[in-house]
Amino acid sequence: MKRPSDHPPVAAPRVGVMLVNLGTPQAPTASAVRTYLAEFLSDRRVVEIPRAVWLPILHGIILRTRPAKSAHAYAQVWTKDGSPLAAITQAQAQDLQVRMGDGVMVDWAMRYGAPSIPDVLARMKAAGCERILVAPLYPQYSGATTASVIDRLGEGLGAMRWQPAIRTLPPYYDDPAHVEALRADLSAQLQALAFVPQVLLLSFHGMPERTLNLGDPYHCQCRKTARLLSEALAGEFPGLKVETSFQSRFGRAKWLEPSTEDTLARLAHEGVGRVAIAAPGFSADCVETLEELAIRGREVFEEVGGKDYAVLECLNAGADGMGMLEALVRRELMGWV
Ligand SMILES: C=CC1=C(C)c2cc3[nH]c(cc4nc(cc5[nH]c(cc1n2)c(C)c5CCC(=O)O)C(CCC(=O)O)=C4C)c(C)c3C=C
Ligand SMILES: [Fe+2]
Ligand SMILES: [Fe+2]
């Protein structure tokens, strides 16, 4: 009788981790931004207006006017490594690869544009990954972001004869490891500022208000991250007031309130001269933090009389954020590695 030890060792199936973020144009030009926005804003998860109404508006108005304006914003934040969002997501994947070692393949994809989720899925399977953890890098769940990543993953899987086994990383907005990473990272940045802020404004990306009424948990998850973070910072910064707002309003519908712009203007108007702003809903700095908050937000604040203004960096590929991501990924891979 053959005992198990008589068999040659069977190679363990290779496990993959795919980090996913939103996507970004390939260049800071109106034409590249148009291509990107056309894909992004055609997603039914992002714009829920009936197609017959929305598509003529998208193609007839938005894609004729917005790309030039957005390209100007992208041009102000573009780096030698390309779009900040893509460069940082790649750096996160490279750092996580070192942390996970050779037994796990780490790669990254974008929901819109390149590298696409189906392409990366096929590449990982071809490299021998029979089990893949897909990690949307959105701490708070929303239909427009997290669910859309999983929809696209389904499209990729739908094109495969031999699919890998899949797990997905749940939202981590209230995970103690996430709150602690934000606390440690922001605390170091606050201590390093040249001024002592009176208010720390936590600015999250907005969503149409109706998504909240329809049951999307995004708003509640943002509020909970903000509360936990505010409680975590209170010990070290007892005099710091923490407020929450929502940025990046798009379209005519009512969005989540209060808006970041209005809040900055109100604070300055009330005589609050020193404000720091952080964006704990973004895992990587991008046009929304580097241009909208750091450039336009400052203009709004200073116009109404605000004096000191600083935008703190996102977790990016820093040690606090990467330690947290490694811990979350290792937890989800249990039984696989
Ligand atoms: C972090 C979570 C995000 C949510 C929720 C979200 C919802 C959402 N966004 C738009 C429209 C736009 N968003 C844009 C940029 C953008 N959005 C996020 C994240 C969330 N969006 C990120 C990380 C980025 C930056 C991308 C980059 O390249 O740096 C843009 C493009 C920029 C511009 O033209 O202003 C649009 C448009 C909607 C409609 C929406 C919810 C329904
Ligand atoms: Fe967005
Ligand atoms: Fe924006």
Tell me, using a 6 A CB cutoff, whether residue 207 lines ligand 1: yes
Is 2 a member of any domain? no
Closest ligand 1 atom, residue 211 Cα: 42
> Residue 18 above 80 pLDDT?
yes
19 and 123 fall within a common domain: yes
Displacement of CA 219 from its chain's centroid (Å): 15
Q: Under a CB-based contact definition with an 8 Å cutoff, are residues 32 and 78 in contact?
A: no
ipTM above 0.95, yes or no: yes
Ligand 1 centre to CA of 206 (Å) is 9
139 and 76 fall within a common domain: yes
Is 85 a member of any domain? yes
Is 194 a member of any domain? yes
List the shell of residues around ion ligand 3, using CB closer than 5 Å: 248, 288, 292
Q: How confident is the model at residue 10 (pLDDT cuts 50, 70, 90)?
A: low
Ligand 1 centre to CA of 237 (Å) is 31
Structure tokens given for 172 = 């981590």
| CATH code: domain of residue 133 | 3.40.50.1400
| Collapsed DSSP state (helix, strand, coil) of residue 98 | helix
Tell me, using a 6 A CB cutoff, whether residue 62 lines ligand 1: no
254 and 197 fall within a common domain: yes
Half-sphere exposure of 153 (CA within 13 A, CB side): 24
The continuous run of DSSP H or E covering 133 comes out as strand 129-136
As separate numbers, helices (DSSP H) first and strands (DSSP E) second, the chain gives 13, 8
Ligand 3 centre to CA of 247 (Å) is 7
Buried residues in 228-243 as b, exposed as e (16+ CB within 10 A)? bbbebbeeebeebebb
26 and 135 fall within a common domain: yes
Which of 20, 54, 79, 287 has the most ligand 1 atoms within 8 A of CB, as the residue to mutate?
A: 287
Q: How far apart are CA 327 and CA 92, in angstroms?
A: 14
Is 198 a member of any domain? yes
168 and 201 fall within a common domain: no
Beta bridge partners of 201: 243, 277
Ligand 3 centre to CA of 113 (Å) is 18
Helices (H), 61-198: 63-77, 84-100, 117-126, 148-158, 176-191
Secondary structure letter of residue 105 according to DSSP: E
168 and 181 fall within a common domain: no
201 and 64 fall within a common domain: no
120 and 194 fall within a common domain: no
Q: Which tens digit of pLDDT belongs to each residue from 110-166?
A: 999 999 999 999 999 999 999 999 999 999 999 999 999 999 999 999 999 999 999
Q: What is the mean pLDDT of the chain?
A: 96
The continuous run of DSSP H or E covering 253 comes out as none
129 and 51 fall within a common domain: yes
197 and 251 fall within a common domain: yes
Q: Under a CB-based contact definition with an 8 Å cutoff, are residues 28 and 36 in contact?
A: no
Torsion on CA atoms 185, 207, 153, 54, rounded to nearest 10: -150
Q: Which tens digit of pLDDT belongs to each residue from 20-45?
A: 999 999 999 999 999 999 999 999 99
Tell me how many domains the chain contains.
Answer: 2
Residue the block writes with tokens 């996430």: 178
Share of the chain above pLDDT 70, in %: 96
49 and 73 fall within a common domain: yes
Q: In whole angstroms, how large is the CA radius of gyration of the chain?
A: 21
Is 337 a member of any domain? no
Is 53 a member of any domain? yes
Bigger pLDDT: 327 vs 5: 327
Q: What is the pLDDT of residue 5?
A: 53
Q: Under a CB-based contact definition with an 8 Å cutoff, are residues 133 and 333 in contact?
A: yes
Q: Answer yes or no: pTM beyond 0.80.
A: yes
Is 1 a member of any domain? no
164 and 32 fall within a common domain: yes
Q: Which domain holds residue 237?
A: 176-311
| Collapsed DSSP state (helix, strand, coil) of residue 88 | helix
Is 155 a member of any domain? yes
